[in-house]
Chain A
């Protein structure tokens, strides 16, 4: 059962598996474990960005196509649904019409991009997508009577997905992990009190429904992508990545495969954009189309581990937690420092991106396979050490490289 679900592509590292299961549980039970709107919106963003990053990984990690237009497709989805609802009013019909329309637009643009990549070579592609994404951003910003310009659009979701809607009257109990752990830390003697404090009343509203829709779509998309990359199609993609020329010589129409990847990835990003608009209920150029957002996606993908898909989950969770909470940590760290000094500036809460950028560059140099790739590498190493304990060391070396080959995603 699990094997079919995961398409036989297991985490292949015990720590990784534990982390992933924890993440899955936190996301699945999220509204009942983390009270507060900030936590709630972080959970939603994580789900959305898992789709965004995983679909980006399909291009970057599995096919080595560097595109800077991923946010463009994300934005098409977000604005597509926001604009249809602006024009047609509340209701479920506009959502589906918006979804369909933006998928269509994305399909056409992705096809155009795919065809353009026929004309130009890989490195050009990166630059051309960058320029196109910028043109799109400027168009959205300038056509303010349609898009609201810099101010963006408020998305009026149907009542059933809003906070005012209560599907049933009763109350559920939630258990705040953060409060519990915090209490455990500060007041370990008074466990009963801590326990009681941690329990909170959770009311199910339309927003929770929206969250669970997003969550299940995310799980579905993720499993679909796992299936895709482990199918014959995915094998061809990896062949193209390793040696496009040879893949061509074997008779694969690489152009078809590359275009297909660009299109699939674009459509999934569009879907994520639609979910984003509905769960965030507000879209503007900054939160959907900005170049900075594109860089963030790149960061999540690479730090998590290119070409592993699981890396998309790990990367998105880590990055969004950092984006939302690292500032607090830095504020706490810098609290003792004299304000105004260079050191205080360096660890200032608004400088969190500096540290993430540094982490990113270092990880490209030293852990090019990202967190997931590195964990798998260690797992492979320790298991092979266990197998031939005391044997000739060269054997271990060979097994290691064998494991590496099986992993595939190790970036050369």
Chain B
């Protein structure tokens, strides 16, 4: 009870300090000789209040204070302490408080760490960031207060959705948010830089680090979510083109694009308008995502409880932000007309523009695929579904030139370059096509498409491997990231081609056999834990080469809320994952068993880690 009260008032104090901060910032902006020390102190104070409020909520969860409505709705006394804590952000109110925490954290670090930029710029960035922060304070207090008081106080809470009770998902939201919400600072500083007409190469260097930070966290956040979906949702996929997944992919695509074109701005001082547009787009997409997820107009596995009032608030807020951005962009931004932009075909900047062109296409596919069904429903009330086949058809053909350009682009130099060692580039292309053909001809399906696709991925793979040797530590971060991407595409493709699966109904003692393996359901035992009872089925899997694996998938019957979940058993090895999951069939003695062998699963995760490694190395490069 006391924690909730403290949390609530801390939230109000945070809002007040935000307002005072904005007031002083405006004052300071008018006569800005030196930065008012009050600004940094107030920003710290605001962060402090939000941290207090956040811990207020965490502690309410820890002590299971059911007079707090959020705790009542999402917790239970029998839950392990770890999930009581992580339950704090496993719901709408708590996760919005996390939003606010990241927003205030980033502006504070921004003020602290930005030393070589003008005072006016720092202040203006703070003001824009405060507009967002205050908007979210009001949103939280008005529509989604995490500290609502319940009376009479319930004896017991409703519990956390069991599929959210998972270590990967426990840290997924904070990591994802650091990227997702972190992009707000890019938005604010882009607006500030535009207003002050200081979008230049040195500004690009300064904002690049912030872009990298957001990008790294967003990449890792998406990875964690994907790993979670793989083993917890229970059917062995890792990306479903689900609207909520798309919503996290869109800012990622925009950030990746920004990361590339910011280099052009840094080196050549061109593409100023484009960098600004991208900076604004990234955060706008994050906001759009929040709107889509929280308004409940999406049909998704991930949807929280939601209500229309919240959706409306975010929508209005989103439009205000877009309006401010457009106004600033068109009113203040003057494109440098004097030196019209001349580029050589063969140059790094041309290659990056090519990258941007394709990335924007991928972004528009995901955006249109996610949003179009909603529009159609509103306009003609006809419901359509846009699923994986749509995305595959529109993205895969474009991936082929994209991968090849990704291999050749980094071979170029800035301004003007000749393609050196053309012979080896062509030779590697030939080798890639040959290898792919030889591999793909073993499968009966889609020979041509798969050969071309796999060759282009192999091409990127070979060229990046070669670059590790020829370029050594020069551009190592870029090379690792591109290498990681080639590995990602290759792993996904081979995973798709080589996966095999079996669905069978088995009673105890029965077995299923095909040419590759034999599955025997040996016995079933029961286990009892604090917050769930489980049925564990013990399987013996004999592969055709005689290897025996024991696997024990589980059915968990959670007590609060009363939900049955299937816990897959996964044996991960370097080359392949064995994945087994059981389901109960009502009124039947048998289990529905799903067994899959999925090659290169581990490599999918490793390659995304490599991608983010590239980002991390790039972040620390200057400091080494």
Do A and B pair up? The answer is: no
